[in-house]
Amino acid sequence: MKTVFIDVDTQIDFLYPAGALYVPGAEKLLPRLAELTRYAASHGITVVSTVDAHAENDPEFRRWPPHCVSGTAGQQKPSGTLLEKRVVVPSTPGGYEIEGAQQIVVEKQWIDVFAGGNLASVLERIDADRWVVYGVVTEYCVRGAVLGLLKLGKPVEVLSDAIQALDAAAGSAVLEELAARGAKIVAGFHEGL
């Protein structure tokens, strides 16, 4: 069984209290995120990481405060979430090579990870039997990633111990919705699940 990890928006601006769009409590995920990254490296699991990569005047900033502006420290991923052999796939259309990469970092400019950009085409090139999703924020980008994968017919697991919501009640409601739509909600990653 081939497994792929989908690491959603684990970036400094979301994970740390000093971040531009900090998700309260997200810093507590850092040890778990590093553990998942190490596990992927030692077991040959490809990690597909989505990352916000906004322009300084991005239209999303009409709804949300400026965050994850390309080239800033806040746009970066913490070192514990990075694998050595990685490629960055920009949000603009064009050719990119992912063969041999342990980690594929897919830039995006929208809350919905499948809106525009190259995520769908990256996933088409990866043949897997199991898609394990974690990251931030539960009720926005994590939800969108899971729903998009389900729409593509992928078997999806959401790691409930490796996600963080902005609002606990809303996060719980999203997990119920995702389970009702066919995702497995699991507390912890286990190879046999």
What CATH number corresponds to the domain at position 83? 3.40.50.850
Structure-derived torsion over alpha carbons of residues 141, 142, 146, 151, reported in degrees to the nearest 10: -10
Cα–Cα distance for residue pair 167/21, rounded to 1 Å: 14
Q: Where are the alpha helices (DSSP H) in 1-102?
A: 12-15, 30-43
Q: What are phi and psi of 155, to 5 degrees?
A: -75, 120
Average pLDDT over residues 7-25: 98
Residue at 150 is within a domain: yes
Q: How far apart are CA 19 and CA 16, in angstroms?
A: 5
pLDDT on residue 190: 63
Q: What is the pLDDT of residues 131-174, one digit of tens each?
A: 999 999 999 999 999 999 999 999 999 999 999 999 999 999 99
Residues above pLDDT 70, as percent of the chain: 97
Residue 171 belongs to a domain: yes
Residue 75 lies in a domain: yes
Global pTM value: 0.95
Q: Is residue 81 part of a domain?
A: yes
In a domain, 134, yes or no: yes
pLDDT at 56 over 50: yes
Residue 193 has pLDDT above 60, yes or no: no
- Of the two residues 53 and 111, the one the predictor is more confident about is 53
Do the domain assignments include residue 191? no
- Name the residue range of residue 143's domain: 3-186
Q: 158, exposed or middle or buried, with CB in 10 Å at 0-12, 13-18, 19+? A: buried
Residue 11 lies in a domain: yes
Mean pLDDT of the chain: 94
- Number of independent structural domains in the chain: 1
